[in-house]
Amino acid sequence: MSRYLFILCPNYSGSTLLWRLVSTSPHVSALPAEGQFLPELREIMRTKPWDADHPLPWDHIRQVWHRYWDPSKRFALEKSPPNLIRAPQIESHFSPASFIVMVRDPYAHCEGLMRRNGADARTAAEFSLDCLRAQRDNASRLDNAISFTYEQLCDDPRGTAQRILEFLPDLETLDWQAQFKVHAIDGNAARTIHNYNAVKLRELGNQHVRVITEVLSQAPDVLSYWGYKLYEPDLRHRLGHLSNNVRKRMVRLRQSGGALWRRHVRRNSRKA
């Protein structure tokens, strides 16, 4: 094994998609799951995972990860999202190491944090902004790193894959046309690389958007670095959000109606 490769990407920001893309190289050995969730390390790495001051036993962590990596491969790949706040520590404990830094539009990121973690809009926005700030530092300070956005990956998968290959020629090939099974807002079905930001944005109510914008407006330099802009809900957004809510209610009604019908059939079949 010649090199460590770390994907630095916030949760709900496309890290699994990028991880699966990089894993299409025949020269990559990926852990079976995020390194932080391996049974030997879950208690260690999931205690205060987003506290940069919480010390971690990196020598022990490296030993455990090596039990899962295939030493015959050129690259040992890991992608736990909290790694992004500990990149300098990782750089000093894993050598030689390369880093792929990726971020996602903060509004889409906030939607994931709110829907899947139950965060309120302000907490989600503050966390997303912290991630963008940390990733800016990683992109500019790490010795061997490439950076791009989720939007660049999804809107130009071929070009982004080529950028990665130019950064790490020993990968040799990446199958950017493959179908990847990742957790997305519409389920876990395998699909080609696709940008789901518009769908996620429609999930946010006007008040949520305003709160997120209020928080993000405090750091225009961070948004500018990544090419993101503040968003204000307009009539189109309000109509899209309303239409989305109506669609979800109709789906729930169909599902509940189907459940009622199945219970009716079961009751009658038992009577028969």
Domain boundaries, the chain: 3-195
Q: What is the pLDDT of residue 2?
A: 79
Q: How confident is the model at residue 272 (pLDDT cuts 50, 70, 90)?
A: low
Residue 233: which pLDDT band, with cuts at 50, 70 and 90? confident
Question: How long, in residues, is the chain?
Answer: 272
Query: Is 235 exposed, middle or buried (CB count within 10 Å of its CB: 0-12, 13-18, 19+)?
Result: exposed
Q: Mean pLDDT across the stretch 104-113?
A: 98
| pLDDT at residue 264, as a whole number | 55
pLDDT over threshold 90, residue 130: yes
Residue 239 pLDDT grade (very low, low, confident, very high; cuts 50, 70, 90): very low
Q: What is the DSSP letter of 75?
A: E
- What pLDDT, on a 0 to 100 scale, did the predictor assign at position 48? 97
Confidence of residue 189 (pLDDT cuts 50, 70, 90): confident
CB contact burial 162-178 (16+ within 10 A = b; e otherwise): ebbbeebeebeebebee
The whole-number average pLDDT for the span 2-29 is 96
Higher-confidence position of 271 and 171: 171
Q: pLDDT tier at 36 (50, 70, 90 boundaries)?
A: very high
Please give the pLDDT value at position 258.
Answer: 55
Give phi and psi for 139, each to the nearest 5: -65, -35
| CA distances in angstroms from 149 to 72, 229, 235, listed in the order given | 31, 14, 28
The dotted CATH code for 3-195 is 3.40.50.300
Q: What is the mean pLDDT of the chain?
A: 89
Query: How far is 196 from 199, CA to CA, in rounded Å?
Result: 5
What's the pLDDT tens digit per position in 133-185?
999 999 999 999 999 999 999 999 999 999 999 999 999 999 999 998 776 66
**What CA–CA distance (Å, rounded) separates 261 from 121?**
38
**Could you tell me which residues come within 8 angstroms of residue 97 by beta carbon, excluding any fewer than 6 positions away?**
3, 4, 5, 6, 90, 91, 144
Per-residue confidence (pLDDT) for residue 251, from 0 to 100: 42
Q: Could you tell me what percent of the chain has a pLDDT over 70?
A: 83
Q: Helix (H, G, I), strand (E, B), or coil: what is residue 269? A: helix
Q: Check whether 204 has a pLDDT greater than 50.
A: yes
Residue 248's pLDDT is what? 43
Ranking 74-83, 164-173, 181-190, 247-256 by mean pLDDT, the lowest is 247-256
The whole-model pTM stands at 0.85
Q: What are phi and psi of 228, to 5 degrees?
A: -95, 155
pLDDT of residue 242: 47
What band does 80 get if pLDDT is binned at 50, 70 and 90? very high
